[in-house]
């Protein structure tokens, strides 16, 4: 069984993320969505909330597991028995950072490969950062997020306003 690990902060999980996860199942028998705490990104949602949102969105796909992880990604990949790291590339601007990460991961663990997938065209511009900005200004999120995730994001934004 070929297992791919799709790591990220998922703050919040977008249709772009779910597109990559779903398309990854064409290559892998199982995809593990590994949700990182990543405090350096100052997430709006805590780890448990982000895990719950990804689990909600992926609930109908038995081949997808959602788990937390911390520490070095390559260590997690090796411990889990996975075959590759899955990364999405939206634009050329993503490539340099992702290329560097893939090379350092290969240096740290020679058996860990990185597979890059491009999102479907309709999601190539999506990022959690952009979606949070739209939410901060009261924008409609139905094109970008699962309805329950959109509700949670709007609620969180409202709770932060003075």
128 carries an active-site annotation: yes
Question: Which is catalytic among the residues 17, 50, 87, 152?
Answer: 17
* C-alpha distance from residue 155 to each of 51, 118, 127 (Å): 17, 31, 19
90 carries an active-site annotation: yes
DSSP 3-state of 19: helix
41 carries an active-site annotation: yes
Question: Which is catalytic among the residues 15, 24, 128, 146?
Answer: 128
As a whole number of angstroms, the distance between CA 16 and CA 20 comes to 6
Question: Which is catalytic among the residues 41, 59, 97, 151?
Answer: 41
Question: Which is catalytic among the residues 23, 80, 90, 132?
Answer: 90
Establish how many alpha carbons lie within 13 A of residue 161's alpha carbon, considering only the half-sphere containing its beta carbon: 10
Total Cβ atoms within 10 A of residue 111: 10
Strand order in 30-35's β-sheet? 64-68, 30-35, 3-8, 84-88, 113-117
Q: Which helix (H) or strand (E) is 24 found in, with range? A: helix 15-24
- Residues with a known catalytic role: 17, 41, 90, 128
């Amino acid at each position: 069984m070929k297992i791919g690990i799709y790591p990220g902060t998922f703050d919040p999980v977008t249709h772009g993320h779910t597109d990559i996860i779903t398309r990854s199942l064409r290559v892998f028998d199982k995809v593990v969505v590994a949700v990182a705490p990543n405090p350096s990104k100052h997430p709006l949602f805590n780890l448990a909330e982000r895990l719950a949102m990804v689990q909600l969105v992926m609930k109908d796909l038995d081949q997808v597991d959602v788990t937390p992880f911390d520490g070095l990604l390559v260590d997690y990949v090796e411990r889990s028995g996975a075959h590759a790291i899955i990364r999405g590339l939206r634009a050329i601007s993503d490539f340099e950072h992702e290329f560097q990460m893939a090379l350092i991961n290969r240096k740290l663990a020679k058996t860990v490969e990185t597979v890059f997938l491009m999102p479907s065209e309709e999601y190539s511009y999506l990022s959690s950062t952009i979606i949070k900005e739209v939410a901060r200004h009261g924008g409609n999120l139905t094109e970008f997020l699962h309805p329950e995730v959109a509700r949670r994001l709007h609620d969180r934004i409202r709770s932060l306003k003075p």
